[in-house]
Structure 1
Amino acid sequence: MISYVTGDATAPSGDGPKIICHVCNDIGGWGRGFVLALSERWPQPEAAYRLWHQDRQHNDFGLGRVQLISVGEDLWVANMVGQHDIHGTDTTPPIRYEAVDSCLDLLTTHAVEHNASVHMPRIGCGLAGGTWDRIEPLVIQRLVRRGIAVTVYDLAE
């Protein structure tokens, strides 16, 4: 199952290779939410995301895609494009659950290749406007059921 801990997802616990994943938008915006904590710790995820978006006509940038960035020995950050725009409508938040599902499926490949555990805040549930009761089953289906250890971090209040 998923391990739930109180702590900082940018400082993942445990031994072995680790991937920190989070949800990004599809318009190149980086500047609010969990990404600020990532940028305080490492410059590479933001720089790579901005270049990925800037050159999107020549790469796979878009909803449902994942960019894996090395930030240390056996430590990666996965920029997962699972949010459309930064503003929802009256009836639809920016989160795109089908895109998050695709991202998690792609992330599984990376985790298996690197024999890595996956660490995350409650992805898609902050600025993206998603709900954990919709995200958690995707995490279980795509990662946990495939034998990948997952830790979800909630910040201490």
Structure 2
Amino acid sequence: MHGTPSGVDNATCTYGGLVRFRRGEPARVLRAPASLRVLLVDTRVSRRTRALAERVAARRAREPAAVDCIVRACGHLTDSAEQIFEKLSNCEGDTDSLYEHLAELWGACHCLLAALGASHGALEAVRRAAAAHGLEAKLTGAGGGGCVSAVHNPPLLLDTHIEVV
């Protein structure tokens, strides 16, 4: 159904919570900070993972160096996010600064994924609405629709209404 999936979905379903997954390496469950709050928005746009994966593969065939560079950059952002999760879990450092840095990474990762062709107009609309409320958001899964996640510092009021136009 998915073509050649990465394995991250299987790893997450198997282990639950935050899972670090890199193809060719064993999945590793990360400690989620008790303070971690994620806003998840369903765009209600269905997507076809296989079609998205094929589109990225075609882009990579045309521009392998550029696509590989984007993928490596996503890996660097993930490494940084993992370090922040660890600091938050251990109550090390200034929580507000750590969440601000994490939000920055979240948004940068989305932009890189969008450069690979994984975004969608509905995802971008949610990102704009979230940004209007000071939140960085990124696509989840394969992108192309589906859900958007935004990490936020716990003081955010959870009953805040975000209108997507």
TM-score, with normalisation over the residues of structure 2?
0.28
Higher helix share: 2
Query: Computing the radius of gyration over CA atoms, which structure comes out larger, 1 or 2?
Result: 2
Higher strand share: 1
TM-score, with normalisation over the residues of structure 1?
0.29
Greater RCO between the two (CA within 8 Å, min separation 6)? 1
